[in-house]
Amino acid sequence: MKIGFLGTGHITSSVIEGIFKSKLKIKKIYISPRNRLISKKLSKKFKKVAISKNNQQLLDMSDWVFLAVIPKVGNRILKDLKFKKNHKVISFISTINLKNLKKYTKAKNISRVIPLPFIGIKKGPIIICPRDVRVRKFFDKLGKTIEINNEKISKNFWTTSSFMAPFYNLMMVTSNWLVQKGVNKKAAEDYTKELFMALCQDSIFKNKLSLKQLVSESQTPGGINAQALRELKKKKFYKIQQKVLNSIFKRF
């Protein structure tokens, strides 16, 4: 199969890194010349990656086309490109819905997919909307796929993906606090990363337990986890989290 990426930025870069770490059998990957630096780097690193002359040539050469430009650019350029009727179009674009993607591309077979940067190490959730067996089989090799048929519901996942930076910030505050208490920076960062990674891995390992059960299981009455949770709740830490999610949701 030959695939093409319209827009060679951060997410294209991560997806291509993931593809070459996976067992996916891809004959050729065409990428658009923009961004020049990233496209050059990718074509140098992977023999099967070729930089197209322009966006139309990329489409003409590919069986599957991945849309990976920002919404503003997508709204501007998609309608002037000629998609083939049998093109499989997979859009990563956050705010262009299926209706408009159909209008712009005239393609019959369109999916919206939400990959996240760790797709580059074949990790993380990948939302696919609507359900599509071939798309799922492709992304199953790159992370944990979750199929959603209702486009409106799938929008909620864009909102939750805004919690990557806040999550790392929580880790940073934890690590910095250790440093303030005299722990050296390397030990503080190593400890924090291992702690948070173990928590996430354990929650996957104990997949029969709900998150509510994990919250309860990880505290002993009168213990330090119970105290931390109680004080954070009292200070409305989690109410604020909900408010922030609602506010991000308004963007989609």
Ligand X SMILES: NC(=O)c1ccc[n+]([C@@H]2O[C@H](COP(=O)([O-])OP(=O)(O)OC[C@H]3O[C@@H](n4cnc5c(N)ncnc54)[C@H](OP(=O)(O)O)[C@@H]3O)[C@@H](O)[C@H]2O)c1
- Interface residue list for ligand X (CB under 6 A): 6-12, 32, 34-35, 55, 68-71, 73, 77, 92-94, 114-117
Our CB check for ligand X shows the closer of 21 and 34 to be: 34
Find the residue with minimal CB distance to ligand X: 9
Our CB check for ligand X shows the closer of 24 and 73 to be: 73
In angstroms, give the least distance from the CB of 32 to ligand X. Answer: 4
Our CB check for ligand X shows the closer of 7 and 18 to be: 7
Work out whether the CA dihedral 152, 137, 12, 146 comes out positive or negative: positive
How far apart, in whole angstroms, are the C-alpha atoms of residue 117 and residue 96? 20
How far apart, in whole angstroms, are the C-alpha atoms of residue 68 and residue 233? 39
Our CB check for ligand X shows the closer of 88 and 188 to be: 88
How far apart, in whole angstroms, are the C-alpha atoms of residue 58 and residue 172? 41
Largest CA distance in the chain: 65
Our CB check for ligand X shows the closer of 147 and 209 to be: 147
> Of the candidates 43, 27, 37, 97, which has an alpha carbon nearest to the alpha carbon of residue 67?
97
In angstroms, give the least distance from the CB of 44 to ligand X. Answer: 16
Our CB check for ligand X shows the closer of 57 and 203 to be: 57
Contact (Cβ atoms closer than 8 angstroms) between residue 65 and residue 87: yes
Structure-block tokens of residue 122: 């074949």
Counting every residue written for the chain, the total comes to 252
Bridge partners (DSSP) listed for residue 29: 3, 49
In angstroms, give the least distance from the CB of 173 to ligand X. Answer: 23
In angstroms, give the least distance from the CB of 220 to ligand X. Answer: 38
Contact (Cβ atoms closer than 8 angstroms) between residue 185 and residue 176: no
